[in-house]
Structure 1
Amino acid sequence: MLRHRFLLSFARFAPERSFLHALFDMIESNNRKELSMYPFLSCTGALLLAALILSGCARFPLPDLRQCAPPSHTQTVEQLHLAPQNQQPLYAAWIPYFACEPLFASGDAAAVKSAVTDLLRSQKENGITTVFVHVCAFGEAGYPSAFYPRNPAVNGYDTLQILSDVCAALGLELHAWINPLRLQTTAAMQKHHDDALLSHWFQDEQLRKENLVLWDGRWYLNPASDAVKEFLAGAVQEIMTQYHPAGIHIDDYFYPTTDPAFDAAAFEASGASDLAAWRREHITNLMKTLRQAVHQADPDGIFSVSPQGDLQKNYDTLYADVAAWCADGTCCDLVIPQLYFGYEHETAPFSALLDRWKALPLAPDVRLAAGLAAYKAGNVDAQAGSGAQEWVTHPDVLQRQINDVLSDPAFSGVVLYNSFVRQP
């Protein structure tokens, strides 16, 4: 049956104005820099970011959700456990680490809370009801943790508590976004001298060998390790029980390579014969473990995942059997594919991708939303082949995509990336 809180987030929102009103100033320039490149960014810089987000001045017409067709279906009383009523769709935004971390650069706690409030209020005022906020992107927590070392970029602040308080005050639904497998570089991890379990694993040669893998200059947790799955379940329950977000969110960082050398020793020890199938099994088991951890902490909690838009690439190169997750019902509650393509994309046109995703069989407990590329509006898409200029010459691409998603009963709503700065 459907998760109660997830449905309430749909039912309670009635848009008053365009939720994209403030986006295009931040995404129309081709010269934006990743904010994390500036660790010295002060409170002034953080407040400037908030001011820019609130500005709303744009060169292109802005999509207006009041003009978007709502879903044509309603849920049954049995599914909702509520009186019959039309559902409002999910309107959400991803807030990545490089947009969030600079807000915590100041030593003035009041200024930090004000900057966070300004950022989130701008989303609320523009129609957003739900935010997926990056709180652990590289195995460094923006909050006190028994599992992860602290993220030095947030200056000791408990970012999750601040985010939780501000979201509660504004009536926004907060989902904690983590990257379960991706960690830091050797140099960064050597700087952590704390009691976090991950730091202990890294410092102990045998535990590091059993649970971590160094690949292409970065460390990763090894999904083939049972201890890693237990570690991640504990980390998820820590967030859910301490901060009570609506759910836990992960994106598309699974196996970083198809090279057999990544986990050759573990694969040989397993006795398995098919490396790809073995890796997919471990990722699927990880998904089940994380969802179970969320629901053990909060039966109404939502475990969501945002895979890449290309189903075959997910399957072949990331070892993510997303179709099986959707059909199974025990792997995730909400799937948000990254449909970051225009209608004229030469190899992956948006309409074709939308059709492929909505054709997937969904278990009764699984819902589907669409991740859309707000950051491409007004910019050349160098990967789109003959459709490279579409986002420049057709300022209504994002509006049309929102309309298409919200008018399709297969989808529960839209999530925007990146609403604040250009994608790194």
Structure 2
Amino acid sequence: MAYSHRNRPTARTGPTTVPIPHTAARTALFAGALTAALTAAFLHAPQAAAEPAPEGQNACETDPEAPPKRQMRAEWIAGVENIDWPSEQGLSADEQKAELDGLYDEAVDNGLNSVFVQIRPTADAFWPSPHEPWSEWLTGEQGGDPGYDPLEYAVEEAHSRNLEFHAWYNPYRVAMHDDPSQLVEDHPARQNPDWVFDYNGQLYYNPGIPEAREFVIEAMMDSVENYDLDGVHFDDYFYPYPAEGEEIPDEDTFAEHGGDFDDIEDWRRDNVDTMVREMSEAVNATKPHVKFGISPFGIWRNSSTDPEGSETSGSQSYDDQFADSRKWVTEGWLDYINPQVYWEIGLPVADYAALVPWWEEVAASTDTHLYIGQAAYKVGNEGAWEDPNELSSHLDFNRDHAGVHGDVYFSANSLRTNAQEAMDVLVSDHYSSPALIPVKEDLGGTAPAPPEASTTDDGALEIASGSGEAPAYYAVYGFDGEPAPDQGECGIEDPRNMLGTVRADEDGAATFDVSDGSDTTYHVTALDRLHHESPASEPVHLP
């Protein structure tokens, strides 16, 4: 069985087993209309509490029944093994574009505001990288030119729908097989065979070799430097998930590079820490507005192992992948943490209701945002996941935890197959109103000036930027009847009045269709790319 961000074996828990998130892979494929059960990898989280009014604005009373105005709402779009996009190898450029357009349109229809798209699944690239070959998942042939730039297209189309685009990379996985000769001849892993080890039937760059780590960072940073990304995202693959009866073959590397470490496991954790810290520093130095986040396995450590751990008894990423995810948060290396909490409420060994508060507490004293990875791929499995309300119940739970800033769903294809009914319930219960993406204040940015809006004869709002730099996009709010006091101040704080958002062009112009409205007053706000919101425009009444 092959794995990816969705490739993990099951997490061992003594006599009990817990599936390992972003790695579990598909165990069944489509058979007929809905025999699709992806056992791939998994991703992130729920609804954040409404943010306080920006400084300088009057605080408005918040209706306790109102949904959060700001939430990360995202899905993973996986490329490895053609889980999501492209759906198969060898599609034409136009077919690939049409598939991605369809996924993005469905994301918008589901009330999402972000996509996490896998662009480096196996030490390869979904863009013309000077460091690594074209991905085999595009054409079926590693190094095969797809005839266009998939990353450029993916970013542009996401932004045209006002979806935030997070580029998703797997740092160390080289191949889903263990035969270096199957790699293209000029592949860096073939040119530097001492950088690579095979484990459990797959090839990996060795995290303990400094040159390999530096190369991996350089290869990923090429896309950060050359594309208009909003985020940089890693999944849970660092050192490989443990395979029974196999040892990671890095004793010689430890002897050469272990330095003052007496314990090989501490050294491995330090290798991963170093890569995370250096990638964080590189992103921040190159484009400080780009967010850096990771979606680790949902359990850091169990409290029976470490008093700082969670009340769980499942596999531990600290010990199994040498991923000290708690440290990455407390050290401030991440803009967001997106743990894969891929278990149901009430599961004894890994209870969703125990893990979300634990992660909330970890992030509480930091500037790191918390998103929760949600296992849409599990919907339809026996037990709790047979209930199409399970995912919605997770967001019900999150509403009582203000430290949760949103959710990410694994993965896009599940939301249109096995989890379609569950997502319909979730959208009805939680996503019936749009949401803005939470602001991370330490990334900078400022609210633009209030925009100007007017109506056209064909039922549209024409929007223009106010003074100063053009905004990234606009939010449009609608109110029944003629203008009323506080609409443009307090009314816009309730997302139930938000009709949607629209991307601005380079000159700050945009058009928003309001042809369905009559006797409606509209207010428009302007937002920068980091989602700081301006005061509202003057009201525009459409009789």
Q: TM-score, normalised by structure 1?
A: 0.74
Residues 293-313 of structure 1, C-alpha deviation per residue, up to 9 Å, x if partnerless? Answer: 221221111111001111121
**Aligned match of 2:72 in 90, 103, 117?**
90
2:412 — aligned with what? Answer: 419
Structure showing the higher helix proportion among its residues: 1
**Aligned match of 1:112 in 81, 96, 102?**
96
The percent identity for this pair of structures is 25
1:280 has 2:269 as partner: yes
- 5 Å matches for 1:16-27? none
1:383 — aligned with what? Answer: none
Q: Aligned equivalents of 1:352 and 1:92: distance in 2?
A: 23
Shift of 1:28: 12
For 2:153, what is the secondary structure of its paired residue? helix
Residues 75-99 of structure 1, C-alpha deviation per residue, up to 9 Å, x if partnerless? Answer: 5747xx9997985111111111121
Q: Given that residues 232 and 290 in structure 1 are in contact (C-alpha distance below 8 angstroms), is that contact kept between their aligned partners in structure 2? A: no
Shift of 1:401: 0.3
1:170 has 2:152 as partner: no
For 2:240, what is the secondary structure of its paired residue? coil
1:180 has 2:148 as partner: no
1:228 — aligned with what? Answer: 212
1:43 — aligned with what? Answer: none
Q: Given that residues 370 and 413 in structure 1 are in contact (C-alpha distance below 8 angstroms), is that contact kept between their aligned partners in structure 2? A: yes
For 1:183, what is the secondary structure of its paired residue? strand
Q: Given that residues 405 and 414 in structure 1 are in contact (C-alpha distance below 8 angstroms), is that contact kept between their aligned partners in structure 2? A: no
- Residues 88 and 257 of structure 1, relative CA distance in 2, 3 Å threshold: closer
- Residues 35 and 254 of structure 1, relative CA distance in 2, 3 Å threshold: closer
2:483 — aligned with what? Answer: none
1:266 — aligned with what? Answer: 253
Shift of 1:235: 1.7
For 2:250, what is the secondary structure of its paired residue? helix
For 2:249, what is the secondary structure of its paired residue? helix
Q: Aligned equivalents of 1:28 and 1:407: distance in 2?
A: 39
Q: Given that residues 363 and 370 in structure 2 are in contact (C-alpha distance below 8 angstroms), is that contact kept between their aligned partners in structure 1? A: no
Residues 112-154 of structure 1, C-alpha deviation per residue, up to 9 Å, x if partnerless? Answer: 3222212211111211100001111111212111221111231
2:486 — aligned with what? Answer: none
Q: Aligned equivalents of 1:118 and 1:308: distance in 2?
A: 29
Q: Aligned equivalents of 1:102 and 1:173: distance in 2?
A: 22
Shift of 1:418: 2.1
- 5 Å matches for 1:64-103? 71-75=48-52, 77=54, 87-97=69-79, 98-102=83-87
Q: Given that residues 372 and 407 in structure 2 are in contact (C-alpha distance below 8 angstroms), is that contact kept between their aligned partners in structure 1? A: yes
2:499 — aligned with what? Answer: none
- Residues 99 and 361 of structure 1, relative CA distance in 2, 3 Å threshold: closer
- 5 Å matches for 1:25-424? 31-32=35-36, 71-75=48-52, 77=54, 87-97=69-79, 98-102=83-87, 105-107=90-92, 109-155=93-139, 156-157=145-146, 158-184=149-175, 185-187=177-179, 190-194=182-186, 199=187, 201-204=188-191, 207-209=192-194, 211-256=195-240, 261-269=248-256, 270-271=258-259, 272-312=261-301, 313-329=316-332, 331-362=333-364, 364-380=366-382, 389-392=383-386, 394-421=387-414
Aligned length: 346
For 1:106, what is the secondary structure of its paired residue? coil
Q: Given that residues 295 and 301 in structure 1 are in contact (C-alpha distance below 8 angstroms), is that contact kept between their aligned partners in structure 2? A: yes
Q: Given that residues 212 and 220 in structure 1 are in contact (C-alpha distance below 8 angstroms), is that contact kept between their aligned partners in structure 2? A: yes
Q: TM-score, normalised by structure 2?
A: 0.59
Which has the larger displacement, 369-378 or 184-193? 184-193
For 1:99, what is the secondary structure of its paired residue? coil
For 2:165, what is the secondary structure of its paired residue? strand
Shift of 1:102: 2.2
Q: Given that residues 76 and 408 in structure 2 are in contact (C-alpha distance below 8 angstroms), is that contact kept between their aligned partners in structure 1? A: yes
What amino acid does structure 1 have at the position aligned with 2:406?
A: G
- Residues 191 and 230 of structure 1, relative CA distance in 2, 3 Å threshold: closer
Shift of 1:30: 7.3
- Residues 72 and 214 of structure 1, relative CA distance in 2, 3 Å threshold: closer
What amino acid does structure 1 have at the position aligned with 2:214?
A: E
Shift of 1:264: 0.4
- Residues 241 and 406 of structure 1, relative CA distance in 2, 3 Å threshold: farther
Q: Aligned equivalents of 2:190 and 2:235: distance in 1?
A: 28
- Residues 268 and 84 of structure 1, relative CA distance in 2, 3 Å threshold: farther
Q: Given that residues 208 and 253 in structure 2 are in contact (C-alpha distance below 8 angstroms), is that contact kept between their aligned partners in structure 1? A: yes
- Residues 101 and 401 of structure 1, relative CA distance in 2, 3 Å threshold: same
Shift of 1:179: 0.3
RMSD: 3.0
Q: Unmatched 5+ residue regions in structure 2? A: 1-29, 61-67, 140-144, 302-315, 419-543
Q: Aligned equivalents of 1:82 and 1:113: distance in 2?
A: 43
- Residues 190 and 378 of structure 1, relative CA distance in 2, 3 Å threshold: closer
Structure showing the higher strand proportion among its residues: 2
What amino acid does structure 2 have at the position aligned with 1:300?
A: H
Q: Given that residues 376 and 410 in structure 2 are in contact (C-alpha distance below 8 angstroms), is that contact kept between their aligned partners in structure 1? A: yes
Q: Unmatched 5+ residue regions in structure 1? A: 1-25, 37-64, 381-388
